[in-house]
């Protein structure tokens, strides 16, 4: 495995994407379909499953997920790949000594534990998964294993299907945060890919003569390619056929400015407002705290603001967003926003795309990418939105006393929202980010290490524009709508 991936499951996802893109590029996809699984799983020994034939069958399913659009869901379970995780949460391990005390049996509230042959046994039919047996065992002999997908899903939208034991996603509740996508150790949950649509979009543009295909990059891109500078990555992306690369951080600059004015106005009548740049957080509120919907900021996300900026200057423009986020894929498909963004591509898909075209960012010349300010760029990490809004409010001398509650990850978001619902929130602005650390740790990014935040900060410091309004001076923002 090359070092650029977070783990081996991501590497396999990449290999599938790369092979499909390569075949499509050579106009050979149909011919290659049956050989791609063999290329990726050459055998003869199976690495993770019972045999190479099952491994190949799973690759086949992954290929199907890239090529076909089965449904409107952004996050889907690959059934065949999901089947080997334990279903029962508490099990007695070898460490059980069959002791005299039997704390486990005595503490089980439902009588699910029996002692058979000097060993404790859990009757799984009776077990209610309270965990008391595990907590009291002096040998720590009762293991607590939850399926990683279920642990990762903070809105509890994943269940196990009783007959097949496979994970199923309740799509009405799924917020598309992508946590399960990155946390399933078998890579059995995947996000919808539009990479083939993007290739067609570029191809049909006739080298950007029929219409122009712009690419918006999320500020988290600074942390994705450790061996290349941002300027080199821009050239690499252009070599894929994009007309121009634009920073989403420009949109973040615009939104910071707009949001601060909005807050000044809204807080006259409302107790608090939540940020609206993280689509998973916004959907979390809509599903779990519908009574707080009116407190969600009406500002569009930086991605949408940047897209509107581009389409305002070029009405035939096509826009692709590249980022670390699964929820952006869902956001771009929303009825009221689908005119703004044509497709969303993940960093995982980007690196597969570049490699399929044999483009190595570190070998590319540099094209400058420097439109946004420090503040727009720090939107990619937790706390950045708040800092940017505070700066904008001060610069404009707004009558705004910002008392922020910065929520890093969905668990912190939930805590703040719960308090807000009870009227006990200690603040008037909730900055909500579904991913811990912020976008830089997004589920479909390649680099998920704590140092990501530092990389974002230094990329932000290198921006020539120091203030959110520097770029806006060149642009008439009043010309387009910044509300959802």
Partner 1 sequence: MVNLSICVGSACHLKGSYEVIEKFKTCVENNNLNDSIVIKASFCLGQCTEAVSVKYKDNIYSVTPETAEKFFDEVIKKSIA
The residues binding partner 1 (CB under 8 A) are: 214, 234, 243-244, 246, 309-310, 313-314, 367-371, 464, 470-471, 473-476
Instruction: Give the nearest distance from C-beta 472 to partner 1 in angstroms.
Output: 10
Total Cβ atoms within 10 A of residue 10: 22
What is the token pair recorded at 137? 């065992």
Is residue 155 classed as helix, strand or coil in its secondary structure? coil
Which residue lies nearer to partner 1 by CB, 336 or 476? 476
Which residue lies nearer to partner 1 by CB, 137 or 472? 472
Instruction: Give the nearest distance from C-beta 256 to partner 1 in angstroms.
Output: 18
What is the token pair recorded at 129? 């998964």
Residues 6+ apart with CB under 8 A from 413: 281, 284, 407, 430, 432, 433, 434
Which residue lies nearer to partner 1 by CB, 32 or 370? 370
Q: How far apart are CA 314 and CA 323, in angstroms?
A: 22
Which residue lies nearer to partner 1 by CB, 181 or 309? 309
Instruction: Give the nearest distance from C-beta 475 to partner 1 in angstroms.
Output: 5
Whether the CA torsion 222, 224, 226, 228 is positive or negative: it is negative
Exposure letters 61-99 (e unless 16+ CB within 10 A, then b): bbbebbeeeeeeebbbbbebbbeebeeebbbbeeebeee
Q: Cα 169 from chain centroid?
A: 16
- Any idea what the Cα angle at residue 372 is, between residues 366 and 375, rounded to 5°? 130
Which residue lies nearer to partner 1 by CB, 104 or 255? 255
Instruction: Give the nearest distance from C-beta 351 to partner 1 in angstroms.
Output: 22
Instruction: Give the nearest distance from C-beta 187 to partner 1 in angstroms.
Output: 36
Q: How far apart are CA 414 and CA 381, in angstroms?
A: 19
What is the token pair recorded at 51? 């045999």
Q: How far apart are CA 52 and CA 41, in angstroms?
A: 7
Total Cβ atoms within 10 A of residue 267: 18
Instruction: Give the nearest distance from C-beta 418 to partner 1 in angstroms.
Output: 43
Instruction: Give the nearest distance from C-beta 474 to partner 1 in angstroms.
Output: 5
Which residue lies nearer to partner 1 by CB, 322 or 393? 322
Query: What stretch of H or E contains 120?
Result: strand 119-122
Instruction: Give the nearest distance from C-beta 464 to partner 1 in angstroms.
Output: 6
Which residue lies nearer to partner 1 by CB, 109 or 368? 368
Whether the CA torsion 180, 183, 186, 191 is positive or negative: it is positive
The position carrying tokens 């891109």 is 221
Which residue lies nearer to partner 1 by CB, 41 or 307? 307
Which residue lies nearer to partner 1 by CB, 161 or 479? 479
Which residue lies nearer to partner 1 by CB, 282 or 304? 304
What is the token pair recorded at 124? 């799984």
Q: How far apart are CA 95 and CA 119, in angstroms?
A: 10
Instruction: Give the nearest distance from C-beta 396 to partner 1 in angstroms.
Output: 19
What are the start-end ranges of the E strands in 232-338? 244-247, 273-274, 318-323
Which residue lies nearer to partner 1 by CB, 295 or 306? 306
Q: How far apart are CA 440 and CA 332, in angstroms?
A: 19
Q: Cα 231 from chain centroid?
A: 24
What is the token pair recorded at 431? 């900055």
Which residue lies nearer to partner 1 by CB, 38 or 366? 366
Instruction: Give the nearest distance from C-beta 343 to partner 1 in angstroms.
Output: 18
Residue 67 sits at φ, ψ, to 5 deg, of: -85, -45
Is residue 245 classed as helix, strand or coil in its secondary structure? strand
Instruction: Give the nearest distance from C-beta 374 to partner 1 in angstroms.
Output: 15
Which residue lies nearer to partner 1 by CB, 58 or 482? 482
Instruction: Give the nearest distance from C-beta 311 to partner 1 in angstroms.
Output: 10
Residue 113 sits at φ, ψ, to 5 deg, of: -110, 130
Instruction: Give the nearest distance from C-beta 368 to partner 1 in angstroms.
Output: 4
Please report the DSSP string for 230-295 in residue order: HHHHHHHHHHTT-SEEEEHHHHHHHHHHHHHHHHHHHTTT-S-EE--S-HHHHHHHHHH-GGGGGG
The HSE-up count of residue 91 (CA atoms within 13 Å, CB side) is 8
């Amino acid at each position: 495995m090359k070092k650029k991936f977070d783990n081996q499951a991501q590497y396999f996802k990449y290999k599938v994407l790369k092979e499909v893109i390569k075949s499509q590029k050579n106009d050979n996809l149909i011919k290659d379909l049956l050989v791609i699984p063999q290329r990726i799983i050459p055998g003869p020994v199976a690495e993770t499953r019972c045999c190479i034939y099952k491994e190949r069958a799973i690759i086949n399913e992954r290929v199907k997920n890239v090529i076909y659009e089965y449904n409107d869901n952004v996050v889907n379970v690959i059934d065949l790949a999901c089947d080997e995780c334990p279903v029962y949460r508490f099990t007695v391990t070898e460490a059980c000594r069959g002791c005299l005390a039997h704390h486990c049996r005595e503490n089980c509230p439902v009588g699910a534990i029996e002692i058979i042959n000097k060993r404790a046994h859990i009757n799984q039919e009776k077990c209610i998964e309270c965990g008391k047996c595990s907590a009291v065992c002096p040998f720590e002999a009762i293991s607590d294993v939850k399926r990683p997908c279920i642990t990762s899903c903070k809105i509890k939208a994943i269940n196990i299907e009783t007959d097949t034991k496979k994970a199923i996603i309740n799509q009405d509740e799924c917020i598309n945060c992508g946590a399960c996508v990155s946390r399933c150790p078998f890579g059995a949950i995947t996000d919808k890919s539009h990479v083939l649509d993007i290739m067609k979009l570029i191809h049909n543009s006739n080298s950007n003569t029929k219409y122009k295909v712009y690419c918006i990059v999320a500020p988290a891109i600074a942390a994705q390619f450790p061996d290349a500078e941002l300027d080199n990555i821009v050239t690499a992306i252009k070599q894929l056929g994009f007309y121009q690369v634009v920073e989403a951080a420009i949109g973040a600059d615009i939104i910071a400015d707009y949001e601060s004015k909005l807050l000044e106005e809204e807080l006259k009548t409302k107790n608090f407002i939540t940020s609206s740049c993280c689509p998973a957080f916004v959907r979390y509120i809509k599903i779990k705290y519908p009574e707080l919907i009116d407190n969600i900021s009406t500002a569009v996300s930086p991605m949408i603001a940047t897209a509107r900026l581009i389409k305002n200057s070029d009405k035939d423009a096509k826009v692709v967003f590249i980022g670390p986020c699964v929820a952006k894929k869902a956001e771009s498909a929303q009825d009221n926003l689908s005119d703004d963004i044509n497709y969303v591509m993940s960093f995982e898909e980007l690196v597969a795309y570049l490699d399929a075209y044999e483009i190595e960012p570190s070998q590319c010349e540099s094209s400058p990418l420097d439109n946004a300010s420090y503040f727009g760029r720090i939107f990619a990490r937790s706390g950045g939105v708040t800092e940017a809004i505070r700066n904008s409010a001060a610069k404009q001398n707004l009558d705004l006393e910002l008392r922020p509650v910065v929520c890093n990850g969905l668990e912190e978001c939930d805590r703040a929202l719960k308090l807000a619902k009870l009227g006990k929130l200690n603040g008037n602005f909730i900055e909500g980010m579904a991913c811990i650390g912020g976008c830089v740790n997004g589920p479909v990014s390649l680099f998920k290490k704590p140092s990501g935040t530092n990389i974002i900060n230094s990329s932000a410091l290198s921006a020539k524009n120091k203030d959110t309004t520097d770029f806006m001076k060149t642009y008439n923002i009043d010309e387009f709508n910044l509300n959802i």
